[in-house]
Structure 1
Amino acid sequence: MLDRIKASLPSLAPAEQRVAQLVLSDARSFANLPVSELAARAGVSKPTVVRFCRSIGYDGLSDFKLKLAGSVSEGVPFIHRSVDPDDKTGDVVVKVIDNTVAAFLKYRNDASAHAIEKASEALASTFKTGRRIEFFGVGNSGIVAQDAQHKFFRLGVTSIAYSDGHMQVMSASLLGPGDCVVIISNSGRTRDLMDATDIARKNGATTIAITASGSPLASAAQIHLAADHPEGYDRYSPMVSRLMHLLIIDILATCVALRIGAPLQPMLKEIKNNLRTKRYA
């Protein structure tokens, strides 16, 4: 995060540069001080502090301070530790867990609340109008798509998941305005998913992509939820990226559940009561 601020310095207005220098000189204090104190220390107005946060890609001062606090806090470093062939089992356990925790913490700091809000609003609106919500993915991402369908199914949302390219294209051809499709891809370069996304968007459906930044799929979808992790694909299947996709689905499902509101609670309670007969006492 601090590297991003340093890289952005030349493009900032002079007053915003003073705010940036204040962050770089003492990030921990910046995350805890009120806006009036920050403005006074930087010699700028309070609106300038907020403008600085937005200029470097955050929703506002609160969003910036929350993610700054996570970035400078002590704990798990935001690094990727590759598993080596001669690692002992204990080393593998530590590295796999550390990679996952670090990726989740980094996502917490980098996630765009604005993009998640747009996606949640689109999904909730589709649900309320009785239109179709679909999830597309192939390979590992196909399994995530099935998990997404299960999460939303529990909320009373009529949805379906497709992992076959032909089915995705056929389904996308039947979508229209008011429908919503979530496309999940680790690389963002799968041809079948790109074809289905283009068809769905041309037909007027809202397209939401959970994929890597800078990928063709990220550009093709109307709403992009970035899922970036420096994972090696030459020797091992994407592990952390898959978990990150599942995390994003959980966030979306929670946000949509909150938008559905009170009617959801009796239904979830009934589902839980009915499932009790399926378990041993």
Structure 2
Amino acid sequence: MLDRIKASMPSLAPAEQRVAKLVLGDPRAFANLPVSELADRAHVSKPTVVRFCRSMGYDGLSDFKLKLAGSVSEGVPFIHRSVDPDDKTSDVMVKVIDNAVAAFLKYRNDASTFAIEKAVEVLAATYKTGRRIEFYGAGNSGIVAQDAQHKFFRLGVNTIAYSDGHMQVMGATLLGPGDCVVVVSNSGRTRDLMDACDIARRNGATTIVITATGSPLATAGHIHLAADHPEGYDRYSPMVSRLLHLLIIDILATTVALRIGGGRLQPLLREMKNNLRTKRYA
């Protein structure tokens, strides 16, 4: 329903377009507010609100609201809503949360389980042979690489993370057959990451790339895990792609842990937890 409204906007009259923007901006609020409040927020007359609903193919405002409420209840709409400087705190909270949840739900529907399965097989095989798994990322993605290293380190994996371009090139140079490198990048166009990925691949290491579809990095690795989400670079908004990358890392770490098996892993995690208790206040 929201996709249809968005696609119909160019054909609507200017006043009806303002109503459409109000719907897309906060569909839940639109479904619950009275017509007078909707008209005030859209800066249109009450008949214009009703006319917009009929333009969308519904009997009137009540019918439109009923269908909208049902559509929204099925899940967060897959649209990116940028925050604005004049947003209230409540607006910012809703937009940031909705953007993150929408990205997760879209990834759940779009993700290639075949690609994830291939990546898990490589990571698990690298662990079993005692070879190295390295995580590379630059800037914001460098933090994701560090988080990934922490998750796999806890599993007893021989791993390290680099966010410095020189260290990435040096680390990739030392890799060989049986090793694995996971490269994380939102843009997929960072020169240092591309160089490190190419070097690791030439040396025989398996390369897994977590990046946007269609980017140069997406075709540079052996296995591509697509992470596609629009970012409002011109707005004051957090990078949802960072959360999406962390989610993908969590999926990989969890699945690899299951492949390792509880018989080998559970005693290690239990001992680690017991040893860390001394670091906490009772």
The TM-score bracket by the shorter chain reads: 0.7 to 0.9
Counterpart of 1:206 in structure 2: which amino acid? T
Equivalent in the alignment of 1:126: 126
Paired positions, count: 212
Structure 1 unaligned spans of 5+: 4-70
Structure 2 contact 84–235 (Cα < 8 Å) conserved? no
Question: 2:243 and 2:281 mapped to 1: Cα distance?
Answer: 30
Give the direction of change, closer, same or farther, for the CA distance of 1:178–1:271 in structure 2 (3 Å limit): same
Equivalent in the alignment of 1:265: 266
Counterpart of 1:280 in structure 2: which amino acid? Y
Question: 2:202 and 2:267 mapped to 1: Cα distance?
Answer: 38
Equivalent in the alignment of 1:81: 81
Counterpart of 2:198 in structure 1: which amino acid? D
Q: How does 1:71-110 map to 2 (within 5 A)?
A: 74-110=74-110
Q: Match of 1:263, SS?
A: helix
Q: Match of 1:136, SS?
A: strand
| Shift of residue 236, structure 1, vs aligned partner | 4.2
Equivalent in the alignment of 2:142: 142
Equivalent in the alignment of 1:279: 280
Give the direction of change, closer, same or farther, for the CA distance of 1:173–1:273 in structure 2 (3 Å limit): same
Question: 1:280 and 1:180 mapped to 2: Cα distance?
Answer: 39
Give the direction of change, closer, same or farther, for the CA distance of 1:72–1:125 in structure 2 (3 Å limit): farther
| Shift of residue 72, structure 1, vs aligned partner | 10
TM-score between both structures, scaled by the size of structure 2: 0.73
Question: 2:90 and 2:280 mapped to 1: Cα distance?
Answer: 35
Counterpart of 1:154 in structure 2: which amino acid? R
Question: 1:84 and 1:220 mapped to 2: Cα distance?
Answer: 37
1:112-148 CA-partner distances (Å, limit 9, x unpaired): 1110010011011011111110000000000000000
Equivalent in the alignment of 2:174: 174
1:235 aligns with 2:225: no
| Shift of residue 272, structure 1, vs aligned partner | 1.1
Question: 1:75 and 1:113 mapped to 2: Cα distance?
Answer: 22
Question: 1:149 and 1:110 mapped to 2: Cα distance?
Answer: 26
1:255 aligns with 2:255: yes
Counterpart of 1:197 in structure 2: which amino acid? C
TM-score between both structures, scaled by the size of structure 1: 0.73
Give the direction of change, closer, same or farther, for the CA distance of 1:237–1:144 in structure 2 (3 Å limit): farther
| Shift of residue 280, structure 1, vs aligned partner | 1.7
Give the direction of change, closer, same or farther, for the CA distance of 1:164–1:237 in structure 2 (3 Å limit): farther
Larger radius of gyration: 2
Equivalent in the alignment of 2:187: 187
Q: Match of 1:249, SS?
A: helix
1:83-109 CA-partner distances (Å, limit 9, x unpaired): 111101110011000000010011001
Counterpart of 1:97 in structure 2: which amino acid? I
Following TM superposition, the consecutive aligned residue runs of length 4 or more in structure 1 with deviations greater than 4 angstroms are none
Equivalent in the alignment of 2:50: none
Structure 2 contact 82–237 (Cα < 8 Å) conserved? no
Counterpart of 1:194 in structure 2: which amino acid? M
Counterpart of 2:273 in structure 1: which amino acid? K
Question: 1:227 and 1:157 mapped to 2: Cα distance?
Answer: 24
Question: 2:256 and 2:82 mapped to 1: Cα distance?
Answer: 36
Question: 2:158 and 2:250 mapped to 1: Cα distance?
Answer: 17
Counterpart of 2:194 in structure 1: which amino acid? M
Equivalent in the alignment of 2:12: none
Q: Match of 1:81, SS?
A: coil
Identical-pair percentage: 85
1:53-87 CA-partner distances (Å, limit 9, x unpaired): xxxxxxxxxxxxxxxxxx99812111111111110
Structure 2 contact 83–237 (Cα < 8 Å) conserved? no
Structure 2 contact 84–236 (Cα < 8 Å) conserved? no
| Shift of residue 235, structure 1, vs aligned partner | 3.4
Counterpart of 1:249 in structure 2: which amino acid? I
Question: 1:234 and 1:217 mapped to 2: Cα distance?
Answer: 24
